[in-house]
Amino acid sequence: MHFKEYQKQSQKTAVYPNKGKNYIYPVLGLAGEAGEVAEKFKKIIRDNDGKINSEKKAEIEKELGDVLWYISQISTELKINLEDVAKTNIKKLS
């Protein structure tokens, strides 16, 4: 799936107050989801001696998807194409 399509599809699932005029809600959601990603890794270190098995990898993948969803919603709120975010980031990193 391309970023443009993802952004379009994810927007259909977005339900929150003042959608379209409320970037704060997805910003706060992003912070929470990023924390959940970190929490998964913390528990891997604590409970699995830092080893990522297929179950833990699947859990992380789901949390990363939630992070992506919130990034997409922030981009949509600010009328920025998610694909442009990705392209700009690669250009910056190069």
- For the segment 21-50, what is each residue's pLDDT rounded down to a tens digit? 999 999 999 999 999 999 999 999 999 999
pLDDT at 48: 96
60-65 contacts, C-beta under 8 A, 24 or more apart: 63/33, 63/36, 63/37, 64/37
Tell me if 36 sits within 8 A of 66, measured CB to CB: yes
CA dihedral 59, 80, 93, 5 (to 10 degrees): 50
- Residue 24's φ and ψ, nearest 5 degrees, are -65, -45
The predicted model scores a pTM of 0.93
